[in-house]
Structure 1
Amino acid sequence: MVNNIEMEEVKKPLSMNPKKFILWLLIVSIMMFFVALTSAYIVKQSDGNWLEYDMPMIFWYSTIIILLSSATMHWAYLAAKKDNLPQLKLALSITTVLGLSFLYSQWAGWGQLVDMGVYLVGNQTSGSFFYIITGAHGLHIISGVLFLIIVLISTYQYKVHSKEMNQLEICMTFWHFLGVLWVYLFLFLLLNQ
């Protein structure tokens, strides 16, 4: 009897969707990348000769934008669970626009940094780190926006609904992760200038 129970437990398949599993592996690797970057930032900052500057106000606004986009993404998820396709389309569209607005605000923030004399290259290590950290996050946001567009197209093709949520759930998880990651990076850069 015991052997039968043990055999049944061994035969259970992986209960997680393989695409969701891959997403979690991707998230862990992205986290490791940014932990390495922020660790290097702290090490280099302790060397001295660190340019101090105020973070442009637009990065505060971009933080609000990414938090709003997380709320609209959750709204899209709730709409999909209820098969409310008009709300789902609207919420995904707003999330996509907010994602693009976030990217624009980051670009504008870089422009403000240049106006303040903070550059990517040169002997300003602190400026270089700021550009690299925000730029790397921006590249991930671009991939998130592209994923949002793919899910939005699928929604218009009636491939996303209460009985088919995998694509939306994967997109939502990635998008929320990018929002949490930005809040971490924003606070890190704000507190370690």
Structure 2
Amino acid sequence: MEHNIESRDRIVQPLSMHPKKFALWLFIISVVMIFAAMTSAYIVRRGEGNWLDFSLPDIFWVNTIIIFLSSISMHIAYRAAKKDNLNTLRVAMVITTVLGAAFLIGQYLSWDQLKAQSVIFSDPGTPAGSFVYVFTGLHGFHLVTGLVFLVIVLIAAFRYKVHSRNMVQIEMCATYWHFLDGLWIYLFLFLLMNH
């Protein structure tokens, strides 16, 4: 009898995850795989020659600072939600959304800087430029989905649906936003080191 009680006390509960969080992590893994494949293709293609060297747009530096600041404001929003500080939550979410939109505008302007160097997407003589357009465009697309997610959570925050007892939405939003920030920093460093 004692042995059975001890056995039951030692049973470890299985780890569980909210189904939506699990789906988000699967999506993040698939995005990581896409960008890993693309950066590998970049390295292979560069090794084949016929590679145009050009300067990365200066605005990439500004964008990196902007997206880093947006990650900080997202973390502030998350911590505010945990503490039921709803005013700080809303302000930080608005700041994150504005910074995310500023990043997208910066990415658009970076394409103008590339065009000013005669680096265009469809030129077969400049595959390096095509890669930069694809990297920034695909990241920008995912950032748009992140902005939509931010707006959804921001609306929920104004409706008092985000607080310490209802954290799933903001946890998922923060995870995705931090992932997008980290992905951009990875891409920027990759391009700096392999340019």
Q: TM-score, normalised by structure 2?
A: 0.93
Matched, 1:20 2:21: yes
1:14-163 maps to which residues of 2 (within 5 A)? 14-123=15-124, 124-163=126-165
What's the CA shift for 1:5?
4.2
User: Whole-Å Cα distance in 1 between the matches of residues 153 and 187 of structure 2?
Assistant: 27
What's the CA shift for 1:71?
0.1
User: Whole-Å Cα distance in 1 between the matches of residues 30 and 108 of structure 2?
Assistant: 25
User: Whole-Å Cα distance in 1 between the matches of residues 53 and 28 of structure 2?
Assistant: 31
User: Whole-Å Cα distance in 1 between the matches of residues 137 and 170 of structure 2?
Assistant: 26
3-state SS in 1 of match to 2:57? coil
User: Whole-Å Cα distance in 1 between the matches of residues 11 and 147 of structure 2?
Assistant: 40
What's the CA shift for 1:102?
0.4
3-state SS in 1 of match to 2:50? coil
> In the TM superposition, what whole-angstrom CA distance separates every residue of 1:146-182 from its partner, at most 9, and x where no partner exists?
0000000000110000111110000000000000110
User: Whole-Å Cα distance in 1 between the matches of residues 116 and 22 of structure 2?
Assistant: 43
For structure 1, list consecutive stretches of 5 or more residues without a partner in the other structure: none
Structure 1 segments of 4 or more deviating over 4 A?
none
User: Whole-Å Cα distance in 1 between the matches of residues 121 and 11 of structure 2?
Assistant: 55
How well do the aligned residues superpose, as a CA RMSD in angstroms? 1.7
User: Whole-Å Cα distance in 2 between the matches of residues 9 and 21 of structure 1?
Assistant: 24
Q: Which residue identity lines up with residue 35 of structure 2 in the other structure? A: F
User: Whole-Å Cα distance in 1 between the matches of residues 154 and 189 of structure 2?
Assistant: 31
> In the TM superposition, what whole-angstrom CA distance separates every residue of 1:75-104 from its partner, at most 9, and x where no partner exists?
001111111111100000000000000000
User: Whole-Å Cα distance in 1 between the matches of residues 111 and 37 of structure 2?
Assistant: 22
For structure 2, list consecutive stretches of 5 or more residues without a partner in the other structure: none
What's the CA shift for 1:9?
4.6
3-state SS in 2 of match to 1:54? coil
User: Whole-Å Cα distance in 2 between the matches of residues 147 and 161 of structure 1?
Assistant: 17
Q: Which residue identity lines up with residue 117 of structure 2 in the other structure? A: M
Q: How many residues align?
A: 192
User: Whole-Å Cα distance in 2 between the matches of residues 51 and 126 of structure 1?
Assistant: 6
User: Whole-Å Cα distance in 1 between the matches of residues 11 and 142 of structure 2?
Assistant: 39
User: Whole-Å Cα distance in 1 between the matches of residues 160 and 137 of structure 2?
Assistant: 35
User: Whole-Å Cα distance in 1 between the matches of residues 14 and 146 of structure 2?
Assistant: 30
Q: Which residue identity lines up with residue 193 of structure 2 in the other structure? A: L
Q: Which residue identity lines up with residue 99 of structure 2 in the other structure? A: L
